[in-house]
Amino acid sequence: MSHEFNAFTMAQRQFDAVAELLQLDDGIRDLLRVPQREYHFTIPIRMDDGSVKVFRGFRVQHNDARGPAKGGIRFHPQETVDTVRALATWMTWKCAVVDIPLGGGKGGVICDPHNLSPREQEALCRGWVRQVSKNIGPINDVPAPDVMTNPQHMVWILDEYEKLAGGHYPGMITGKPVEVGGSLGRTEATGYGVVYTVREALKRMNLSMGEIRASIQGFGNVAQYASKKLIELGATVVAVSCWDNDDQISYTYKKADGIDADFLLSITNRFGAIDKAKAEAAGYERLEANAWLDQDVHILIPAALENQITADNVERIHSNVRIVAEGANGPTTPEADEVLKKRGIFVIPDFLANAGGVTCSYFEQVQCNTNFFWPKDEVLKRLDQKMTTAFHAVADLSEETGEYMRDAAYMIAIQRVATACHLRGWA
């Protein structure tokens, strides 16, 4: 992450622009520009070598007017509270744009799980929840996995919470393994949701999936399932990128006639790093980190971290690109966004495109709270319906008003949250 880039400043700039379009009054603007609550804390951990190391943790609850806060927990060595604030803000809009009764939250710990043993990671998860156990739970704030956290981390958090609360509360966290209250379809949900919106955008452009080529940044959970679903629907994915922990650098892996997502998945470690030697032996070109950006494709899917398409590299995007579907949170800076707008590239904004994850998390929460679980086909069918409905609501507003897709999505989301705040008498 660039030291000059501040995700929360970007989130506020996006909000301010749409607040002006909606002509929101000053009170509601002041309320929605900043989080309602923030928790900053330290987590002391006894390391495997006997030493004690102190980690910094956060939980930010941006707005809960429409329901309990919802959002993931990130483990990242460059985590900042401003990043967590931004992500919590975007979660508010994400839940609102797909019309699920939840608000926005986010959590994080400054750490690198690559360098922590499983026991140390478990201690960190349990330490995190001990610090915020009175402020999270099924009726006020429901965490989930995010960058470099996984279902096992969620189980440790759930177990510690239930010890403290003295009962079973499987709906207090989502992204769990199916065996302890997770939802079928949750693993695929975010990546599939991105592709459902891409599919609907292509229909509006009168383009068929069979003629489409795509390039994806990342090869974590979102990118893996987005690539699998695109290929299943007939598209060709020519490139993916990933972080290589050994070399401490990202690479792009390209196969001009189309990647084999299942093969790449078979040689990818749990942190999303592809085995270089095995990929090259199978005929994949290994290119520099940002090579995913300038491929001759129709669709780009940034599905890694924020601040990836910037003023410095946006001109690298090939002239044939028709759609940018933001699988990651905040991958495009406002300056780069202006370039995409001028070029007429159809942008499916992050908090719409990647809302499949939180939608399925909501499904998981509903199933846990009712103690009745759905088959996978039903989960994915409901996910498709939610994502399709939300996409067309935004696209229709964009066409009717002439507003950019990102602004149209914000207009719908912010108006829904503002209405809930007004009805509650908050502003």
Structural domains of the chain, with CATH: 38-177 (3.40.50.10860), 187-353 (3.40.50.720)
What mean pLDDT value characterizes the chain?
A: 95
pLDDT in tens, 219-272: 988 999 999 999 999 999 999 999 887 778 899 999 999 999 999 999 998 767
**Residue 1 in this model has a pLDDT that exceeds 50:** no
Structure tokens that stand for 159 in this block: 């177990």
pLDDT for the residue 2: 43
Residues with catalytic roles? 106
Q: Distances in Å between the alpha carbon of 394 and those of 16, 33, 383, 399, 415?
A: 19, 22, 17, 9, 13
Over the range 372-396, which residues count as b (16 or more CB within 10 Å of their CB) and which as e?
A: ebbeeeebbebbbebbbebbebbbe
**Residue 353 in this model has a pLDDT that exceeds 70:** yes
Residue with tokens 């499916």: 348
Structure tokens that stand for 244 in this block: 């290589």
217 falls in which pLDDT band (50, 70, 90)? very high
Q: What is the DSSP letter of 146?
A: -
pLDDT in tens, 189-213: 999 999 999 999 999 999 999 999 9
Provide mean pLDDT across the span 99-127: 97
pLDDT for the residue 10: 86
CB 356 within 8 A of CB 95: no
188 falls in which pLDDT band (50, 70, 90)? very high
Angle between helices 405-424 and 376-401 (to 10 degrees): 100
5 falls in which pLDDT band (50, 70, 90)? confident
Provide mean pLDDT across the span 365-370: 96
pLDDT for the residue 290: 93
- Which H helix or E strand runs over 60? strand 52-63
394 falls in which pLDDT band (50, 70, 90)? very high
Torsion angle of alpha carbons 299, 330, 410, 345, nearest 10°? -30
State the DSSP string of 185-220: THHHHHHHHHHHHHHHHHHHTT--GGG-EEEEE--S
Structure tokens that stand for 26 in this block: 């000053």
